[in-house]
A = this chain, B = another copy of it.
């Protein structure tokens, strides 16, 4: 069984669950009640809140905050400085109400993106760097901007590809880079 690596400067609280082969880097903090899958990475100075679930092979880069209410699937890339949220009406005073956020398998979130809670980021979507996501993102969609809007569709290898609608209400993109044929539903 592969060991878990926790850098000496990182803080992993009692009650955190970290899968085999995962690495927690410098000055990161994983709170009790967080679940990190196998072969995952939590980058420098990042924060994994209680209640958060990260799947297998997830890469969380530097300086990321993931809050209670966020569930992340397998093979997800979370770029540096990405900020999740968990309350649509934040105030210093008063109660706190969590709106859940889901990131599906294979999704990628570019550097410094902001993910407003209550959204679902579909499988293999690509959130461009600096995006402010305020609505759910369909599978394989490329979104960018503030607020983020759909700019096209991407392959599993993250290349943007022009595709075609199929009669069945799905969309097909054939990737000229990795030769994968992706078929997925479009909203």
Residues of A at the B interface (CB closer than 8 Å) are: 9, 11, 26-27, 29, 44-45, 47, 57-59, 61-63, 65, 67, 75-77, 79-81, 83-85, 89-94, 106, 108, 110-112, 114, 116, 129-130, 132, 134, 144-147, 156-159
Contacts and interface: CB of A to CB of B under 8 A. Distances in A.
Contact of A129 (B75, B114, B144): B114
Contacts of A9: 11, 27
A156 B59 CA distance: 38
Contact of A110 (B79, B90, B145): B90
Q: Which DSSP category, helix, strand, loop or mixed, fits chain A's interface?
A: loop
A91 B157 contact: yes
A77 B90 contact: yes
A116 B89 CA distance: 23
Contacts of A111: 65, 83-85, 114
Contacts of A91: 75, 77, 106, 108, 156-158
Q: How many copies does the complex hold?
A: 3
Given A79-B85, A83-B111, A111-B84, A92 B57 contact: yes
A89 B11 contact: no
A57 to B, nearest CB: 6
Contacts of A47: 44-45, 62-63
A129 B85 contact: yes
A91 B80 CA distance: 13
A47 B59 CA distance: 17
Nearest to A105: B92
B57 A93 contact: yes
Given A29-B26, A75-B93, A91-B106, A65 B65 contact: no
Contacts of A106: 91-93
